[in-house]
Amino acid sequence: MTSPNNLSFVHRFEPGTDPAQPPLLLLHGTGGDESDLLPLGRSLAPGAALLSPRGPVLENGMPRFFRRLAEGVFDEDDVRRRAGDLADFVAEARAAYGIAAPLAVGFSNGANIAAAMLLLRPESLAGAVLLRAMVPLAEPPAADLGGKPVLILSGAADPIVPEESARRLAGQLGRAGAEVEHAVLPAGHGLTQSDVARAEAWMARWRVPATAA
């Protein structure tokens, strides 16, 4: 079994106490770290196992999960590479901690890498909550998401993520077979209590017993 001490990403892990809750993969935004989304994870799924890695790419000293060339312009070769690296880390963590395929909860850059994982390595995730996500790959490969649940929450006044890009992402994931729900909330780029309430309600509808299978 892989040791938690030699996994490929700096991370934090909180064991689960409620077997009815699927494990969560928490993916921070630019400038965040492995502690940022732990409170959100505890709120969304009390008692769930929480796996929270730190993005390995630095942009002016701020951790991210992949490189970008400019605001909203991604290095798609790096997106593909980093999505594969993160999927490999999830496999390592599942072996080390004995958890099921996690549900990703990602914000901004973290949501974008989660979307890329769904499109490139769908076996690594059970589904995703994508907060302020946009299209990570202009021409994604064919993928079979087999009904995986995905919630996309956009902000109507978001100055960073164009609503059209979020709609295109919802279309990409839906065409790949995901069960997608996309909502536009009265918010900007930052998260609000409305995001938390909407995500909690959605997760309650999709909750299934977690297993290590």
Q: Tell whether 193 is covered by a domain.
A: yes
Q: Which of 108, 124, 182, 195 is catalytic?
A: 108
Q: Tell whether 129 is covered by a domain.
A: yes
- Which tens digits make up the pLDDT trace of 45-69? 999 999 999 999 999 999 999 999 9
Residue 37 buriedness (CB in 10 A; 0-12 / 13-18 / 19+): buried
- pLDDT at residue 43, rounded to an integer: 95
Q: Tell whether 213 is covered by a domain.
A: no
Pair of tokens at residue 109: 């850059």
CATH number at residue 71: 3.40.50.1820
Q: How many domains does the chain have?
A: 1
Q: Tell whether 19 is covered by a domain.
A: yes
Q: Which of 75, 85, 189, 194 is catalytic?
A: 189
For residue 107, which phi and psi values (nearest 5 degrees)?
Answer: -115, 125
| Nearest alpha carbon to residue 24 among 2, 1, 43, 45 | 45
pTM across the whole model: 0.94
| Nearest alpha carbon to residue 47 among 14, 71, 75, 79 | 14
Is-catalytic flag, 75? no
Q: Which of 11, 36, 158, 195 is catalytic?
A: 158
Q: Tell whether 55 is covered by a domain.
A: yes
| Nearest alpha carbon to residue 120 among 155, 153, 144, 149 | 144
Please give the mean pLDDT across all residues of the chain: 93
Residue 146 buriedness (CB in 10 A; 0-12 / 13-18 / 19+): exposed
Q: Tell whether 211 is covered by a domain.
A: no
In this predicted structure, the answer to whether residue 71 has a pLDDT above a threshold of 90 is: no
Q: Which residue range forms the structural domain that includes residue 106? A: 4-206
Q: Tell whether 111 is covered by a domain.
A: yes
* In the chain, beta strands by DSSP E: 11-14, 24-27, 50-53, 57-59, 62-64, 68-70, 73-74, 103-107, 127-131, 149-155, 179-185
Pair of tokens at residue 162: 């164009």
- Which tens digits make up the pLDDT trace of 86-145? 999 999 999 999 999 999 999 999 999 999 999 999 999 999 999 999 999 999 999 999
Q: Tell whether 65 is covered by a domain.
A: yes
Pair of tokens at residue 142: 């064919």
For residue 123, which phi and psi values (nearest 5 degrees)?
Answer: -70, -15
Is-catalytic flag, 108? yes
Is-catalytic flag, 158? yes
